[in-house]
Amino acid sequence: MAKTIISVKDLHKKYGSFHAVKGISFDVFEGEIFGLLGPNGAGKSTTLEIIETLREKTSGTIEVAGFDLDKDPNEIKKLIGVQLQTSGYYPNLTLAELIVLFAGLYNQPVNPMELLETVNLTDKAKSKYKELSGGQKQRFSIATTLINHPSIIFLDEPTTGLDPQARRNLWDLIKEIRLKGTTVIITTHYMDEAEVLCDRVAIIDKGKVIALDSPDKLIDDLVASGFERPKQVKNANLEDVFIHLTGHELRAEN
Ligand code: ADP
Ligand code: MG
């Protein structure tokens, strides 16, 4: 039986008179990769930031690991890993120094090299954040979510703007983190990403959940409803060609 670790019920968020989140409900199970999937402006980041205790909700109830967000936000903060905004700050510190700094903010002992090892960045320990490629920046920001050994991590569009190798690389990293028992909530507007990465997805549009299930089940339901793709799809796409030609392995620049 799947155990619920996050429960969101009838969540609403208004920015002034604009109703951005209109009664969203979903449960996240312990140990799964759960996707919030939707176009820009759907309300994904708003929902995520409210659960992260970083943004006020207008109404609704949220429980994380049995703690009520309204009553025990500090207990929730101890359990979660949130991507820190690293860009622009402390431009002269190295990655190892930044990790020590963040660990100090969390009041957590940390071995910077061990943490950099989990995201494959040991060779960049002495580099500055601004010197990293897009994929490396994302891997570093994922490392910062792991500093306090969280039960749950939140990733808001971690692969936006990355090239195909760097994206696949990040997918592998996210799967590895989940294998260690961490629950992952990720937002994305890439459907292919959700399909390969997420155990279950909530599709959000205009502030409402319009579907919630495993990607497989959602596709099967659509096919069962009589849907057919208008033309025969090839067994590969241009991205497959690109990956096949350029290789999938970890590269120095991603
Ligand atoms: P997503 O992450 O799915 O792209 P967001 O949660 O960022 O969506 O935004 C949902 C809607 O709320 C958008 O229309 C956005 O413009 C609006 N919005 C987000 N943050 C604010 C804010 N601080 N003030 C006013 N409107 C906001
Ligand atoms: Mg967003």
Minimal-distance CA residue to ligand 1 atom 27:
15
- The reported pLDDT for the residue numbered 234 is 79
- Residue type (1 letter), 208: K
Q: Kindly state the DSSP code that residue 94 receives in the 8-state scheme.
A: B
Alpha carbon distance 208, 235 (integer Å): 34
Average pLDDT, the chain: 91
Helix (H) or strand (E) holding 80: strand 80-82
pLDDT reported for residue 79: 96
Alpha carbon nearest to ligand 1 atom 24, residue = 15
Cα separation of 80 and 105, whole Å? 14
Ligand 1 pocket (Cβ < 6 Å) reads 15, 18, 20, 38, 40-46
4 pLDDT more than 90: yes
What pLDDT was estimated at residue 159? Answer: 92
- The Å distance, Cα 40 to ligand 1 centre, comes to 9
According to the 3-state scheme, what is the secondary structure of 13-79? EEECCEEEEEEEEEEEECCCEEEEECCCCCCHHHHHHHHCCCCCCCEEEEEECCEECCCCHHHHHHH
pLDDT the model gives residue 83: 86
Q: Which of 163-172, 194-203, 226-235, 243-252 comes out lowest in average pLDDT?
A: 243-252
Residue 249: the pLDDT is 67
Residue among 36, 45, 46 to mutate when testing ligand 1 (max atoms within 8 A of CB):
46
How far, in Å, CA of 239 to CA of 16, rounded? Answer: 42
Question: Which chain residues have CB less than 5 Å from ligand 2, an ion?
Answer: 44-45
For 145-180, give the DSSP string.
HTTT--SEEEEESTTTT--HHHHHHHHHHHHHHHHT
Residue 254 has pLDDT above 70, yes or no: no
The C-alpha angle 199, 203, 209, rounded to 5 degrees, equals: 120
Sequence-distant (≥ 6) Cβ neighbours of residue 114 within 8 angstroms: none
What is the whole-number distance in angstroms between the Cα of residue 74 and the centre of ligand 2?
A: 24
What pLDDT does 89 receive?
72
Q: Which of 98-112, 191-205, 237-251 shows the lowest per-residue confidence on average (mean pLDDT)?
A: 237-251
Q: How far is the CA of 43 from the centre of ligand 1 (A)?
A: 6
Mean predicted confidence (pLDDT) in 89-117 = 90
Task: Please give the structure tokens belonging to residue 165.
Answer: 């190798």
- Predicted confidence at residue 244, as pLDDT, reads 84
| Per-residue confidence (pLDDT) for residue 2, from 0 to 100 | 86
| pLDDT-derived band at 242, boundaries 50, 70, 90 | confident
For the chain, the straight-line distance linking the first and the last C-alpha, in angstroms and rounded, comes to 38
Closest Cα to atom 14 of ligand 1: 41
Average pLDDT for 89-104: 90
Give yes or no for residue 88 having a pLDDT over 70: no
Q: According to the model, what pLDDT value does residue 201 have?
A: 96
Q: Which ligand is nearest to the CA of 47?
A: 1
Residue 108 neighbours by CB distance under 10 Å: 11
A 10 A CB-CB count for 129 gives: 20
For the segment 181-233, what is each residue's pLDDT rounded down to a tens digit?
Answer: 999 999 999 988 999 999 999 999 999 999 999 999 998 888 888 888 777 67
Strands 183-188 and 33-37: parallel
